[in-house]
Amino acid sequence: MTFNNRWVYNKQNVKGMVIIMKKLISNYLFTVIYQLLLIITPFITTPYISRIFKPEGVGIEAYVSSIVQLFVVFISLSFALYGSRQIASKQSQKEISIEFWTIFAFKIISSLIVLLVYFVYIRTVTEYLDLFLINLLTLAANIIDTSWYFFGREEIKNISIRNIIVKITGIILIFTVINDYNDLDLYVLINAGTLFIGQLIMWIPLLKDVSWVKITINDILRHTKPIMILFLPQIMIQVYSLANKIVLGNVSGEVEVGYFNQAYKIITIALGVISSFGTVMLPRMSSEFSLGNKEEMKKYINFALQLILMITLPMTLGMMAISPNFVTWFLGKDFSPVIQLLFIMSPVIFFVGLANVFGIQILIGTNQQNKYSVSVTIGAILSLIINLILIKPFGSAATAVALLVAEASGALIQMYLTRKYFDMKNFLGLFIKYFVLSIALYLVVVLIGKCLPISSILLTLLQIFAGIFVYLLGLIVIKDPVTVKITLFIKNKLNRGEKLTRKKTRF
């Protein structure tokens, strides 16, 4: 290859990389918007629903929903991760079509078994049978869910827009149709029905994309082992999470469980933004791995690590900084122990971010799910041991520490297992840079919390905006590469918008 040809090739490579990066950022933003809508929805609907259905109605719905969700877990298995990875690893349309129909056929077969168990269960139910029957729509929606296909194809924008429309439609129907306690069945039907219709709609573009192909039973069964290996960590997480709460409740009582649950719910809000990144990046990593593009993989991993560190470190320290004031007005003074729990649990945000890169994007993306399962299992065992040792003297704080140890050990084991895929020196340099800026954010937010005598809600909002401003200012001052790229991207978009407006005005 001549020098000129190499230059053209490199230029095309860089151009292709830039286009893919823009697509990844766009996919991530759409996914985050949907996650934020999921976070905001309870704030909008909960006060209304609580007043309409009273504690009894809310409790009934929550009880039925918790049982239904258990069946949903077994219907979903690990299709979100496995399906998107497999679709991303295929190149030709025929290969993609075969992979889709064999995975979907496996899902249908496994779901029929779950449905059979569900019917056997509801035959024994004497209470709330109507709600369990309505929730057959919820199970059906999860059976026909093909989001994993679109994630694998990196067509996340359409999925996100659909999810947003479905969610907003559901909210509008709740406020317009639900009027009194007797509408509980209708409320469950709205939630299940909108979910089902949303999943059904996505079959229209899907059937235009995939072709009908002949598949065999052996084609279907070859997915059994990898799906079950990926499902094992999910079961382990459910088991140790449930076991820790049971131990906490038996030793320290229901009040301590309540403290832990509320703290975990707050942390989960932040985790939704982080998990979106793994959903977006996994198909890209799987695609590059299937093509044998190791150098391209390293570039994407470095980009992912930089973005994760840039997001999770300020979120971790920011959560610690706002927790004293936030917990007081959001949960009430009775939940003051949650402040301490949030201090302990906030680093979970950072470690889940790392696990997102090292575990999901690298280990699962490169077909090393055995190692991923081992790391999660070790974390779960350590968590249970720590909980059993510390729970008597420390109560819910022990369970918080156990959660942190589970996430930290899992992430660090995954980091060690994937060390050849990234530059450790570069990682440490990025960590120090973003950690120092996050410390500055923390100090400013804490200072505002102590010095300004204003209402609690307003103070939290001011703390958040001040923290974001200080952090962004720090990124601009040090000329952070990611920030510079995003700034230039926004400027270009605005300039194009201005040019189009001028042309229309002239016309």
User: Is it the case that residue 264 has pLDDT exceeding 60?
Assistant: yes
pLDDT at 11: 46
User: Is it the case that residue 125 has pLDDT exceeding 90?
Assistant: no
CA distance 143 to 137: 10
Residue 276 lies in a domain: no
pLDDT at 163: 77
Residue matched to tokens 């830039």: 18
When pLDDT is averaged across residues 89-101 and rounded to a whole number, the result is 84
pLDDT at 46: 65
HEC-encoded secondary structure of 144-213: CCCHHHHHHCCCHHHHHHHHHHHHHHHHHHHHHHCCCHHHHHHHHHHHHHHHHHHHHHCHHHHHHHCCCC
Domain that holds residue 114: 1-222
Residues 6+ apart with CB under 8 A from 364: 81, 85, 230, 282, 372
pLDDT at 9: 42
Q: How does residue 20 score in pLDDT terms, banded at 50, 70 and 90?
A: low
Which of 13-17, 307-311, 334-338 is the most confident on average? 307-311
User: Is it the case that residue 55 has pLDDT exceeding 80?
Assistant: no
Kindly list the distances between the CA atom of residue 493 and the CA atoms of 380, 488, 490, 500, in Å, as whole numbers in the listed order: 46, 9, 5, 11
Residue 337 lies in a domain: no
- Lowest average pLDDT, out of 264-268, 271-275, 337-341, goes to 271-275
pLDDT at 10: 47
Residue 92 lies in a domain: yes
- Lowest average pLDDT, out of 1-5, 391-395, 501-505, goes to 1-5
pLDDT at 206: 85
When pLDDT is averaged across residues 343-349 and rounded to a whole number, the result is 94
Q: Higher confidence at residue 441 or residue 6?
A: 441
Residue 277 lies in a domain: no
Residue 450 lies in a domain: no
> Could you give the percent of the chain with pLDDT greater than 70?
82
Q: Give the closest residue to 118 by CA, choosing from 130, 105, 132.
A: 132
pLDDT at 490: 63
pLDDT at 1: 47
CA distance 438 to 441: 5
Q: How far is CA 316 from the centre of its chain?
A: 16
- Lowest average pLDDT, out of 241-245, 387-391, 439-443, goes to 241-245
User: Is it the case that residue 120 has pLDDT exceeding 60?
Assistant: yes
- Lowest average pLDDT, out of 376-385, 429-438, 497-506, goes to 497-506
pLDDT at 2: 45
- The count of structural domains within the chain is 1
DSSP 421: G
E strands, 165-278, where? none
- Lowest average pLDDT, out of 117-131, 139-153, 224-238, 386-400, goes to 224-238
Kindly list the distances between the CA atom of residue 135 and the CA atoms of 54, 140, 236, 498, in Å, as whole numbers in the listed order: 21, 9, 26, 50
CA distance 475 to 310: 9
> Could you give the percent of the chain with pLDDT greater than 90?
23
Q: How does residue 7 score in pLDDT terms, banded at 50, 70 and 90?
A: very low
- The long-range contacts involving 483-492, CB below 8 angstroms and separated by at least 24 positions, are 485/21, 486/25, 489/22, 489/25
User: Is it the case that residue 464 has pLDDT exceeding 50?
Assistant: yes
Q: Give the closest residue to 150 by CA, choosing from 74, 225, 201.
A: 201
| 268-317: pLDDT as tens digits | 877 877 776 666 666 667 677 767 777 777 888 888 888 889 989 999 99
Q: How does residue 471 score in pLDDT terms, banded at 50, 70 and 90?
A: very high
pLDDT at 6: 43
When pLDDT is averaged across residues 242-257 and rounded to a whole number, the result is 74
Residue 332 lies in a domain: no
pLDDT at 26: 65
> How many CB atoms are closer than 10 A to CB 222?
12
Do the beta carbons of residue 79 and residue 278 sit within 8 Å? no
CA distance 46 to 40: 10
User: Is it the case that residue 104 has pLDDT exceeding 50?
Assistant: yes
Q: Environment class of residue 335 by beta-carbon count within 10 Å: exposed (0-12), middle (13-18) or buried (19+)?
A: middle
Q: What are phi and psi of 136, to 5 degrees?
A: -60, -30
Q: Higher confidence at residue 157 or residue 187?
A: 187
Residue 33 lies in a domain: yes
* Mean per-residue pLDDT of the chain: 81
Kindly list the distances between the CA atom of residue 313 and the CA atoms of 23, 56, 328, 440, in Å, as whole numbers in the listed order: 24, 41, 24, 12
Q: Higher confidence at residue 265 or residue 96?
A: 96
